[in-house]
Amino acid sequence: MVLFWEKFRSRVWVNLNWSYISLLSVLLLLGGLLVALYLPLPPPQMPIASEVYDQNYKLVTTFFLENRSPVSLDEVPRFLIKAILAVEDHRFYQHHGINPGRIVKALLYDIIHRRFEQGASTITQQLAKNAYLDQKRTFLRKLKELFYTVKLELQLPKNKILELYLNQIYFGHGAYGLKIAAQTYFGKELRQLTPTEMALLAGLPKGPAFYSPYFHPQAGRQRIVEVLQRMKACNYISNVQFEDYRSRPLHLPGIINKVAPAPYFLDLLQDEVGRIFPKEPGLIYKAGFIIESTLDMEMQKNAEHSMMEGLPKLLRDKQGLLQPQGALVAIDPQTGAIRALVGGIDAARSQFNRAIQAHRQPGSAFKPILYASALSHGYTLANHMDCSPVTYQIGRQTYRPTDDNDQERSGLLSLRQALASSNNVVAVKLLYQIGTAQVLSLAKKLGIISPLPPGLSLALGSGEVTPLELAGSYLPFANGGKNLAPTTIWRILDREGRVLYQAPTEHPTVIDPGVAYLVTQALSSVLQKGGTAANIEGIINRPVAGKTGTTEENHDAWFVGYTPDLLTCVYVGCDHNERPLPGAANRIAAPIWADFMTKALINKPALDFTIPNDIIQMDICSETGAKATSFCPKQSEYFLAGTEPTEYCQKHRIISIQVCKRSGLLPGPYCRELEVRQFKLGEQPTEICNVCQKHPYFFDWLRRIFKSRSE
């Protein structure tokens, strides 16, 4: 009995000891947590500037966050505060930093969709995340976020938290905080903003690039409506106010900033960084990246100079911008590296990047894609097509393609001749034969992502594309069929030298190398006698290919041309089609291209386009496209193996015929001297000799007698 009691008392004592230890541990943990929560907040993490270098590793510019001018909450219009609360956290003043309802809703969304995308962060949580934490998505970071959220709520009043948040968030175009955002987008102070402008600012933080009215006007306008709808749902505005504000126009004068070197190139580079890191907008301004770009500053300067000097007489439009404007994109066709990019000639006044944002009809500059599709489906450059006028019945309408100045031609043209002279009738007939589906499919493979019309006018470049898109679609022609995405970035490294991103070096083949070479061969004729750009023949003293493009009434002018080591696209036109250009592409865009290429390729060796193994070169009859005979007008032509002509030209075939030696006609019954002569088919005699008579020698004797007497 005594032994049992001792065991029982020992066991109870041990259990009590563990209970005390556990309780003490919990108390210490809670005490430590309380102490940590009430310790002063550390200063927010300072963002690190990202540096951009050109291809020679010279610093081009830096992207940073110091372009921030803090404002107090009293300086922010009440309407703007309500708009931000409506879309970001309408229960901000009711919760204590964490909104359980939003967390549950987001969790259910993530479970249903099986991915972690739905945000549940309050304004306090967003401030804690942006000010004190990195961007890694881990469970530990989430715990830290909750810790700092509670700490902020305990130590700061709600108005101070909101003020810090409004000065912290990113609005796009390098603007951090409300004050700089108002200046960047509207050139105004906060107190000068209209309700519509404030609604736009409130909606930007969720997607600064996507909702930017400069990049995506329609998405920006839709975002304004969404913000106003949220404000109406929160009873911040009435129905009448909602209808009033949503219908007001949005004026975007922007703000004149100091323009960095190659501003339009850097604009595209920022977009590319955003695509590489899509879940962290504005990362380039705070992550301390070392960005090794593809920019060649010398080429960039030459591009800007050629564009400025080559544009027609400049006039200012109603917005004060010089018109016409233009764009130039220069790319290494072997790597896709963008060496120079000009998006306009007045970057200080206009953020509109025509190289990537101007959707314009390319006109005949689209035809190489059509011809590439035809060559991929068995056509050859020697095939002849009738260029006589044709009319197509499409439903209840008719379509009749015409050439420049409505001049009508007739006869046959080889596909090489038709492309070189940019014949519209042949292009439409060719599209009709191979089908629009084939051409649309190839255009997409070549990198044309803009929607294109499915009708016959597609052959004449009626779809709208950007200069960068069109330049990218020509790259496979210049590099032997490889599919390259134009890029501004080689590598992105962190401050420790770790590679965060590397541009792809392996590229799939999108068209047969032989087809690419044939297109290049045909485009080389554009710059030769009879071609639409023959006026610049000889300026580029090296193998070169290219294509002009002019839209109706000379509103837009294009030239895309390339050597094996550099491809350049030039576009010229007025932003709003205010006036036509004073000439076609060969007089407007082609000279700009030639001037730039001459400077860009100076002191560089002339390279030949590589001839693929499946290409055959042979002499053909220039009139028929058949295998040449010794009597044919010859020209050298290239073919994919298996598509070359095997039959000799019938038009110039040689036949042997016995004829009268005296008359050269077919022998008659009195012809005594005969011989065999050779004739081209169709040129042989068809009449019978009527010179030789029954007694030819008697009459000759009489003729000689009379002749001698008369003398």
Structure tokens at 507: 């590229």
Return d(Cα 315, Cα 570) in angstroms, integer. 20
Return d(Cα 365, Cα 589) in angstroms, integer. 12
Catalytic machinery residues: 88, 364
Taking residue 214's Cβ as centre, other Cβ atoms within 10 Å add up to 19
Contact 134, 38 (CB under 8 A): no
Which 3 state secondary structure label does DSSP give 556?
strand
- The C-alpha angle 383, 389, 395, rounded to 5 degrees, equals 105
The stretches in the chain having pLDDT less than 50 are 30-38, 113-119, 256
Beta bridge partners of 546: 561
Return d(Cα 358, Cα 465) in angstroms, integer. 8
Return d(Cα 525, Cα 291) in angstroms, integer. 40
Return d(Cα 85, Cα 156) in angstroms, integer. 18
Contact 313, 323 (CB under 8 A): no
Contact 11, 19 (CB under 8 A): no
Contact 555, 573 (CB under 8 A): yes
Structure tokens at 668: 């008659």
Output the CA–CA distances (angstroms, integers) from residue 630 to 619, 649, 653, 657, in the order listed: 10, 10, 9, 18
pLDDT of residue 49: 72
Beta bridge partners of 620: 627, 635
Return d(Cα 333, Cα 544) in angstroms, integer. 13
Which 3 state secondary structure label does DSSP give 465?
strand
Output the CA–CA distances (angstroms, integers) from residue 364 to 462, 513, 531, 611, in the order listed: 9, 23, 13, 26
Query: SS3 string of 105-124?
Result: HHHHHHHHHCCCCCCCCCHH
pLDDT of residue 179: 87
pLDDT of residue 13: 53
Phi, psi for 143 (deg, rounded to 5): -65, -40
- The C-alpha angle 41, 47, 51, rounded to 5 degrees, equals 170
DSSP state of 96: S
The type of residue at 123 is I
Rounded to 10 degrees, the C-alpha dihedral 587/589/591/593 comes to -160
pLDDT of residue 111: 54
pLDDT of residue 654: 79
Q: Is the peptide bond before 217 cis (omega within 30 degrees of 0)?
A: no
Per-residue pLDDT tens digits for 674-701: 999 988 777 889 999 988 876 655 556 5
Contact 186, 253 (CB under 8 A): yes
DSSP per-residue codes, 411-438: SEEEHHHHHHTT-HHHHHHHHHHH-HHH
DSSP state of 204: G
pLDDT of residue 540: 85
Phi, psi for 652 (deg, rounded to 5): -110, 30
Per-residue pLDDT tens digits for 57-106: 998 988 877 567 778 999 999 999 999 999 998 888 888 767 665 555 55
Return d(Cα 13, Cα 212) in angstroms, integer. 70
Taking residue 117's Cβ as centre, other Cβ atoms within 10 Å add up to 9
Return d(Cα 14, Cα 672) in angstroms, integer. 146
Return d(Cα 93, Cα 121) in angstroms, integer. 14
Query: SS3 string of 148-165?
Result: HHHHHHHHCCHHHHHHHH
Return d(Cα 463, Cα 465) in angstroms, integer. 7
- Which distant-in-sequence residues (6+ apart) come within 8 Å of 247 by Cβ? none
- Which distant-in-sequence residues (6+ apart) come within 8 Å of 420 by Cβ? 522, 525, 526, 528, 530, 531, 532
The type of residue at 363 is G
Return d(Cα 210, Cα 278) in angstroms, integer. 11
Location of structure tokens 């018109």: 323
